[in-house]
């Protein structure tokens, strides 16, 4: 009886930890930035922007990029797929293209250079980590109120 | 068993709080000038947001421990879970699930502590759990304001205070916001109310929770709890471990409150790190009481009626107050006053009923003795 | 019986802990530590002690207000805000009627008195109906009355330009300056000043007067009856004491003392704080008297004095010492944990006589 109880508890604990682990994998959120910008790779290749790119994720249009534009979308998980509708020149026809990517786990924000990506550049060329600009803040600006008392419960419940 | 005569006055007394609220709402709704569609939508949203939290109060009531003001403890555990999940950038529903799992050990620990203390303060559980919520709030602030970022690693500057440790006043849950509510998009069109959006997944979870509570009442543990709630001494004589049963009741309540808080905050879309939890206990308890519950008796029906009536008042009061007096602050103060007054009235009614029952019992005893003598 | 044998074996330290209570001991040691550390980390000790004395003088009467209700067995008066509201009504009405200077203080007390009597009677009547559940209900009576008054401060037809919002011309401000009214009237009476060191003699005398009156009252016939009601209601009833009447009296006294207490606090602080401010007031007073050695059903004047000094000592000393030492102001958190921990400790003690 006792042994069964302990086994049962360990099992429950293991299941919880298992679920947590799965959540870590499938729930990792990323912000993906799409650049339709000129990019000069280290080997000297220059990727020119397209006239217009529409980015669709899950059938929803998330960005409409002109030349030198940037768009963004939040995603969940490491597998990312999008559909691009590209208009290369002003009067040319739209060309569709589906892209599937693996996103590195440890990057919060990822910049994808679409011209480089579409022209078959290597991953380290078209992909870059987005590092948010550090905003200088003065330390005392955000004073945190501490109190054991009831604050006026005026907020929304 | 003799058939009880329907006691009209007793029934009226029991349902006086909900009746009062129906009257308040009936007066305030037309004055507020809000449309039926908007009111219905608001109520449905708030139902999804709050019902789970209020359900967490039921089990300690069953165990005779009164209104668990210590549900705040669970709320804090839930918030810590959410802060960590959002720092690790686990988003959407998986982030919520992770936050819930993270909150469990914290809730259990706090619940054990709270239960132990409440066992030492039998007969004044409510005031003790109330002070407990303040006490643990101090510990929570110590953890969140000083240890997060210095002892517990926090990576993102959007969460951390500029000084390098401590969590900001508000933590955005933008990438978790209403992800559960909108998991299954659903809305209904009603003739009078128009289109109402329904957070279906949240409702399904709440319904499941109700089923669990109904089932729990029938288990051995649930029966024990009811026995303890009826009479501790009798339960002890029947071989029930009273202390343990009471602790378990508080632990369950705390864990559920943690889950409830996570559901609540995913709907709100941000955490007010230092105030979200402190207000939640009061609102939930007031809502439950408005639904017709008392300190020693509460049902699932009370939860839902309470959410509807209390939040209806909450939505319309400021606007109605502004319409009457021309000052919106009066309505704001009014709803706060009503929340406190309802709790006061319910507590007073509970205590007077207890005394009445006691004196009736005494009379019976005296009569029995007379009969014998 | 078993317990007794254990008691005998305990060392002097064990006995000390038992008599004094562990949390109380920790708090006292903590304050002593702060006092030792203060000069080392470069805080000016005379200023610190002046602060402690000043804060003691502001809060003393509020803490004293706890005594009668504890004595009569009504428990800790978490409903202190009700009395505070009477005091606030007295303060605002006194200003509204145009009294100034020291007279405004006297008038504030006089005007507050009838309010305190009426509110206190109602409150006492309620508490007599719910014996056994006093503390929780007291808490919520306090909250309800504060939030009711929040509306009233806006609605009541106050006119004095020193109190109402300038723009709207109606509705009281959240804080009202007492300059020209009774700001420091007691504190400046016979004030002693040596360098950085100050003693607000008047305020302390005023507190001493009330404390003495309370002490004397507790030794009158009614006073001993009150103690009897608190320690053993059944016995008291058998002895022919009208329990409900005595309890009512204790609640009225407590409410009135709270009203006077807030006025004393205001004269020291220099401002009247309205709206949600009274919310903040019950818990510090409750924990102060508990730190001083009171329990849920036992309290003395000594408890009040010691408790207020210890509590206010910690409240004033921790921020400066902490800031000077580690550049981290954790004083708020220490205060929250210490004061609520103290209340929790008191609530979990088994108390003889009550229930």
Which CATH number belongs to the domain containing residue B45 in this structure? 1.10.3470
| Chain centre to alpha carbon of residue C344 | 18
| Interface contact C344, partner A, CB < 8 A | no
Handedness of CA B156, B158, A106, A26 (dihedral sign): positive
**pLDDT at A156 > cutoff 50:** no
Decide if B93 contacts B111 (C-beta within 8 A).
no
As a whole number, mean pLDDT of residues C317-343 equals 81
Per-residue pLDDT reduced to its tens digit, B13-62: 778 888 888 988 898 899 888 889 999 999 999 999 999 999 999 999 99
**What tokens were used for B222?**
């649930």
Number of folded domains in chain B? 1
Decide if B87 contacts B268 (C-beta within 8 A).
no
**pLDDT at A147 > cutoff 60:** no
Length of chain B: 373
Q: Which of C352, C338, C248 is nearest to C298 (CA)?
A: C352
Question: What secondary structure does DSSP assign to C116-147, as a single string?
Answer: HHHHHHHHHHHHHHTTT-HHHHHHHHHHHHHH
| Interface contact C332, partner B, CB < 8 A | yes
Give the pLDDT of residue B295: 86
As a whole number, mean pLDDT of residues A139-155 equals 40
Q: Pick from C154, C333, C343: which is nearest to B131 by CB?
A: C343
Instruction: Establish if A142 belongs to a structural domain.
Output: no
As a whole number, mean pLDDT of residues B256-277 equals 92
Give the pLDDT of residue C148: 92
ipTM at complex level: 0.86
As a whole number, mean pLDDT of residues B149-158 equals 88
Q: Which helix (H) or strand (E) is C37 found in, with range?
A: helix C22-40
- Does residue B266 or residue A48 have the better pLDDT? B266
- Does residue A132 or residue A2 have the better pLDDT? A2
**pLDDT at C312 > cutoff 50:** yes
Which chains touch B (3+ CB pairs under 8 A)?
A, C
**What tokens were used for B197?**
């959006």
Number of folded domains in chain A? 1
Give the pLDDT of residue B210: 96
pLDDT, averaged across chain B: 89
Which chains touch C (3+ CB pairs under 8 A)?
A, B
Can you tell me the distance from the alpha carbon of A5 to that of A7, in angstroms, rounded to the nearest whole number?
5
The model's confidence at residue B6, banded by pLDDT at 50, 70 and 90, is low
Name the minimum distance, in Å, from the CA of C332 to any CA of chain A: 6
Inter-chain CB pairs, A–B, below 8 Å = 95
**pLDDT at B373 > cutoff 90:** no
Q: Identify the weakest region by mean pLDDT among B13-22, B79-88, C135-144.
A: B13-22
**pLDDT at B221 > cutoff 80:** yes
**pLDDT at A138 > cutoff 70:** no
Give the pLDDT of residue A152: 39
| Crossing angle of helices C134-155 and C80-96, rounded to 10° | 20
Give the pLDDT of residue C170: 79
**What tokens were used for C59?**
């809060």
| Chain centre to alpha carbon of residue C250 | 15
Decide if C158 contacts C97 (C-beta within 8 A).
no
Q: Which residues 6+ apart lie within 8 Å of A143 measured at CB?
A: none
Q: Which of C229, C207, C172 is nearest to C354 (CA)?
A: C229
Instruction: Establish if A53 belongs to a structural domain.
Output: yes
As a whole number, mean pLDDT of residues B231-237 equals 92
Decide if B143 contacts B109 (C-beta within 8 A).
no
**What tokens were used for B281?**
């206990």
Per-residue pLDDT reduced to its tens digit, C1-14: 444 444 455 677 77
Name the minimum distance, in Å, from the CA of B135 to any CA of chain C: 5
Instruction: Establish if A2 belongs to a structural domain.
Output: no
Helix (H, G, I), strand (E, B) or coil at A79: strand
| Interface contact C348, partner B, CB < 8 A | yes
Q: Within 13 Å of residue A107, how many CA atoms lie on the same side as its CB? A: 18
Can you tell me the distance from the alpha carbon of B125 to that of B117, in angstroms, rounded to the nearest whole number?
9
Instruction: Establish if B2 belongs to a structural domain.
Output: no
Judged by CB atoms closer than 8 Å, whether chains meet at C130 and B128 is answered as no
Which chains touch A (3+ CB pairs under 8 A)?
B, C
Instruction: Establish if A151 belongs to a structural domain.
Output: no
Decide if B33 contacts B362 (C-beta within 8 A).
no
Length of chain A: 157
Judged by CB atoms closer than 8 Å, whether chains meet at A151 and B88 is answered as no
Can you tell me the distance from the alpha carbon of B45 to that of B48, in angstroms, rounded to the nearest whole number?
5
pLDDT, averaged across chain C: 86
Can you tell me the distance from the alpha carbon of C7 to that of B96, in angstroms, rounded to the nearest whole number?
52
Q: Which residues 6+ apart lie within 8 Å of B211 measured at CB?
A: none
Per-residue pLDDT reduced to its tens digit, C35-66: 888 888 877 788 888 888 999 999 999 999 99
Q: Which residues 6+ apart lie within 8 Å of B147 measured at CB?
A: B165
- Does residue C173 or residue A144 have the better pLDDT? C173
Decide if B306 contacts B288 (C-beta within 8 A).
yes
Window 65-84 of A, Cβ < 8 Å to B: 74, 76
**pLDDT at B276 > cutoff 50:** yes
Instruction: Establish if A21 belongs to a structural domain.
Output: no
Helix (H, G, I), strand (E, B) or coil at B191: coil
Give the pLDDT of residue A148: 34
Q: Pick from C132, C144, C333: which is nearest to B138 by CB?
A: C333
Judged by CB atoms closer than 8 Å, whether chains meet at A150 and C340 is answered as no
Q: Name the residue range of residue B198's domain.
A: 8-368
Instruction: Establish if A67 belongs to a structural domain.
Output: yes
Decide if C173 contacts B349 (C-beta within 8 A).
no
Judged by CB atoms closer than 8 Å, whether chains meet at A151 and B279 is answered as yes
Can you tell me the distance from the alpha carbon of B284 to that of A89, in angstroms, rounded to the nearest whole number?
60
**pLDDT at C121 > cutoff 90:** yes
Instruction: Establish if A150 belongs to a structural domain.
Output: no
Instruction: Establish if A48 belongs to a structural domain.
Output: yes
| Chain centre to alpha carbon of residue B345 | 18
Helix (H, G, I), strand (E, B) or coil at A137: coil
**pLDDT at B121 > cutoff 80:** yes
Helix (H, G, I), strand (E, B) or coil at B356: helix
Give the pLDDT of residue C94: 92
Any idea what the CATH number is for the domain that residue A65 is in?
2.60.40
Instruction: Establish if B261 belongs to a structural domain.
Output: yes
| Interface contact C280, partner A, CB < 8 A | yes
Judged by CB atoms closer than 8 Å, whether chains meet at A20 and B282 is answered as no
Backbone angles phi and psi of A44, in degrees to 5: 100, -10
- Distance set, CA B148 to CA A97, B84, B103, B154, B312 (Å): 45, 9, 16, 6, 38
- Does residue C332 or residue C3 have the better pLDDT? C332
Q: Identify the weakest region by mean pLDDT among B8-22, C56-70, C150-164.
A: B8-22
Can you tell me the distance from the alpha carbon of B53 to that of B71, in angstroms, rounded to the nearest whole number?
9
Judged by CB atoms closer than 8 Å, whether chains meet at B97 and A19 is answered as yes
Instruction: Establish if B311 belongs to a structural domain.
Output: yes
Give the pLDDT of residue B116: 94
Inter-chain CB pairs, A–C, below 8 Å = 20
Decide if B74 contacts B59 (C-beta within 8 A).
no
Instruction: Establish if B3 belongs to a structural domain.
Output: no
Q: Which residues 6+ apart lie within 8 Å of C54 measured at CB?
A: C187, C198, C200, C268
Per-residue pLDDT reduced to its tens digit, C234-283: 888 888 888 899 999 999 999 999 999 999 999 988 889 988 888 878 88
Can you tell me the distance from the alpha carbon of B344 to that of B355, in angstroms, rounded to the nearest whole number?
17
Give the pLDDT of residue C35: 84
Q: Name the residue range of residue A37's domain.
A: 29-129
Q: Pick from C144, C148, C340: which is nearest to B134 by CB?
A: C340
Can you tell me the distance from the alpha carbon of C217 to that of C223, in angstroms, rounded to the nearest whole number?
5
Helix (H, G, I), strand (E, B) or coil at B67: coil
Can you tell me the distance from the alpha carbon of B311 to that of C131, in angstroms, rounded to the nearest whole number?
32
| pTM value > 0.80 | yes
Give the pLDDT of residue C40: 83
- Integer-rounded Cα Rg, in Å, for chain C is 21
Judged by CB atoms closer than 8 Å, whether chains meet at C276 and A147 is answered as no
């Amino acid at each position: 009886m006792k042994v069964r109880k302990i086994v049962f508890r360990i099992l429950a604990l293991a299941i919880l930890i298992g679920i947590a682990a799965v959540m870590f994998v499938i729930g990792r959120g990323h912000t993906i930035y799409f650049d339709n910008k000129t990019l000069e790779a280290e080997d000297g290749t220059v990727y020119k922007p397209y006239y217009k790119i529409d980015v669709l994720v899950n059938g929803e249009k998330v960005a409409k990029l002109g030349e030198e534009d940037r768009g963004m979308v939040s995603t969940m998980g490491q597998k990312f797929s999008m559909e691009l509708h590209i208009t290369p020149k002003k009067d040319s026809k739209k060309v569709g293209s589906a892209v599937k990517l693996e996103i590195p786990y440890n990057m919060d924000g990822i910049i994808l250079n679409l011209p480089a990506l579409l022209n078959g550049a290597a991953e380290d060329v078209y992909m870059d980590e987005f590092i948010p600009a550090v905003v200088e803040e003065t330390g005392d600006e955000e004073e945190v109120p501490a109190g054991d008392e009831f604050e006026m419960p005026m907020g929304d419940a | 068993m003799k058939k009880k005569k329907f006691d009209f006055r007793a029934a009226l007394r029991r349902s006086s709080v909900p009746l009062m609220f129906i009257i308040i709402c009936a007066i305030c709704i037309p004055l507020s000038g809000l449309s039926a569609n908007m009111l219905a939508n608001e109520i449905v949203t708030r139902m999804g947001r709050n019902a789970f939290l209020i359900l967490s109060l039921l089990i300690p009531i069953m165990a005779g421990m009164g209104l668990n003001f210590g549900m705040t403890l669970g709320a804090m555990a839930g918030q810590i879970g959410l802060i960590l999940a959002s720092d690790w950038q686990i988003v959407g529903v998986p982030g919520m699930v992770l936050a819930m799992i993270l909150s469990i050990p914290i809730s259990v620990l706090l619940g054990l502590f709270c239960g132990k203390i409440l066992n030492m303060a039998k007969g004044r559980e409510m005031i003790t759990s109330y002070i407990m919520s303040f006490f643990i709030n101090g510990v929570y602030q110590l953890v969140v304001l000083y240890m997060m970022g210095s002892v517990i690693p926090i990576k993102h500057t959007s969460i951390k205070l500029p000084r390098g440790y401590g969590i900001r006043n508000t933590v955005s849950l933008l990438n978790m916001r209403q992800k559960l509510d909108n998991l299954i998009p659903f809305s209904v069109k009603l003739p009078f109310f128009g289109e109402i959006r329904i957070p279906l997944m949240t409702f399904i979870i709440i319904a499941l929770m109700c089923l669990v509570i109904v089932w729990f009442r029938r288990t051995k543990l649930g029966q024990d709890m009811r026995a303890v709630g009826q009479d501790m001494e009798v339960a002890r004589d029947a071989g029930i471990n009273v202390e343990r049963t009471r602790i378990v009741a508080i632990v369950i309540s705390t864990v559920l409150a943690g889950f409830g808080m996570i559901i609540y905050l995913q709907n709100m879309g941000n955490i007010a790190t230092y105030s979200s939890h402190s207000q939640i206990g009061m609102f939930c308890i007031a809502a439950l009481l408005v639904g017709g519950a008392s300190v020693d008796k509460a049902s699932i029906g009370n939860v839902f009626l309470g959410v509807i009536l209390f939040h209806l008042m909450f939505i319309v009061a400021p606007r109605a107050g502004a319409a009457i007096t021309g000052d919106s602050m009066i309505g704001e103060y009014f709803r706060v006053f009503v929340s406190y007054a309802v709790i006061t009235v319910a507590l007073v009614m509970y205590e007077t009923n207890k005394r009445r029952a006691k004196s009736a019992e005494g009379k019976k005893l005296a009569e029995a003795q007379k009969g014998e003598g | 019986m078993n317990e007794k044998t254990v008691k005998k074996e305990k060392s002097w330290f064990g006995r000390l802990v038992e008599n004094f209570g562990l949390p109380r001991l920790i708090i006292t040691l903590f304050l002593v530590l702060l006092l030792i550390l203060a000069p080392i980390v470069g805080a000016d000790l005379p200023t610190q002690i002046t602060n402690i004395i000043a804060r003691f003088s502001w809060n003393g009467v509020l803490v004293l207000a706890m005594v009668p209700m504890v004595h009569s067995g009504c428990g800790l008066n978490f409903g202190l805000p009700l009395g505070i509201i009477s005091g606030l009504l007295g303060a605002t009405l006194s200003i509204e009627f145009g009294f100034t200077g020291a007279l405004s203080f006297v008038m504030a007390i006089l005007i507050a008195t009838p309010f305190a009597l009426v509110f206190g009677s109602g409150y006492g009547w309620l508490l007599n109906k719910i014996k056994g559940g006093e503390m929780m209900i007291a808490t919520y009576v306090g909250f309800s009355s504060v939030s009711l008054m929040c509306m009233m401060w806006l609605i009541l037809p106050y006119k004095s330009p020193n109190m109402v919002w300038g723009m709207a011309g109606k509705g009281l401000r959240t804080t009202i300056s007492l300059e020209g009214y009774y700001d420091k009237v007691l504190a400046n009476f016979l004030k002693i000043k040596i360098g950085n060191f100050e003693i607000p003699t008047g305020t302390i005398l005023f507190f001493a007067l009330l404390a003495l009156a309370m002490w004397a009252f507790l030794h009158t016939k009614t006073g001993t009856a009150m103690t009897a009601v608190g320690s053993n209601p059944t016995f008291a009833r058998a002895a022919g004491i009208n329990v409900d009447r005595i309890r009512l009296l204790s609640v009225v006294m407590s409410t009135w003392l709270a009203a006077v207490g807030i006025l004393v606090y205001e004269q020291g602080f220099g401002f009247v704080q309205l709206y949600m401010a009274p919310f903040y007031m019950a818990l510090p007073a409750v924990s102060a008297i508990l730190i001083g050695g009171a329990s849920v059903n036992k309290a003395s004047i000594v408890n009040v004095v010691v408790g207020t000094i210890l509590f206010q000592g910690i409240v004033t000393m921790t921020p400066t010492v902490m800031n000077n030492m580690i550049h981290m102001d954790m004083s708020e958190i220490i205060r929250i944990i210490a004061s609520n921990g103290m209340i929790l400790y008191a609530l979990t003690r088994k108390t003889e006589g009550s229930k």
